[in-house]
Amino acid sequence: MRALMLACLLAFSLVSHAKANEPPPDWLAARLWLDSADCALKTGKFLVLCRDSRVIPIGDDSLGDDPGHALALGLYSALTGRAAKPSDIARINLGINVIGLILLALLLFTLQLRISAALVLLSIALARQYPILTPHPAGLGDACLSAILPLALLGLPLIKASQGTFIGWLVAGILSLATASLFRQSTAMMGVAASAAAIAVSVAVSGRRTILPHIAQLLAVFVAYKAPHLVHRARDIAYNLQPARFTEEHGPWHSLYIGLGVNKNPFGIRWDDASGIEAVERLDSRILFGTPAYFDALKHEYFRIVTTSPRQVLQVYATKLASTLHQSLPAPLHVPIMWPLLLVGLAAMVVRFWIACFAGS
């Protein structure tokens, strides 16, 4: 445990050394985050932009963006009295990665999967791999945060954890999922799906006698996923603002649609925001990017493809899975990381369950 805590301290020391670059010229959202932080410094109001002696929702200028970075930068500026800088975006991204990896390692340690916990901590080497000042470098941490709740729901009952431990990790998992949704809602979708599956498994194992707690867990998962919406509605009420012109959360449909284009595919889709925009323009050129109508159009287009070409869609997802499993550590190591993590974790779980069954007999 001491070694784990030492690794955590060393990991957090990385945050203060995050690289500082300028936001990409075409990445409007990062510049709006900094503008919103400046407005928070002046007015003490968050997720807004200062325009002509008044404040407007950041979503009046930002298209389909999640609120996490803008909120974090605004809180930083308001609490410290200092203007946010581009380097602070890099620190936020690195901080999310480090926190997510450490929380996941602590959960695995609690589940008595110590080797897996150590391997997860080694993955902190990936936390600084992408220093660009967009939300994407924090994807590793977002994914880890999204995994906390389903792993806790499935794993803690198997080791017969105490009620206090279970409740503690349940709360941590819900808060982690909400945090992931605030920073990258499309990534948090994985946690929502996995948590729903974990709850379904728990219901099947425990029976209908405990259905009410599971319903409460599902509601908590839904609320956590809708954290961006709830934060923006709270802002509108607190500052007496009208809802923003554009959708103020990432939502699933844009990512699901262009996600079909990560690899070569028969649909002509590219892993590029422009591919989604072009698809909607073909359907109705009057629909603006980032509006509710835009996401609704992509939802219908995604389901059209899934229902008319299910085999090709499965092939696309199988190719993406294979690519993910071949992820390696950055240079100079170039050591495969995903397969060892999965195999060691699976082996540890099998051994653990075998010991539990043997001890029980």
Catalytic residues: 195
What b/e string do you get for 339-358 counting C-beta neighbours within 10 Å, with b at 16 or more? eebeeebeebbeebeeeeee
Residue (of 185, 217, 219, 184) closest to 203 by Cα position: 217
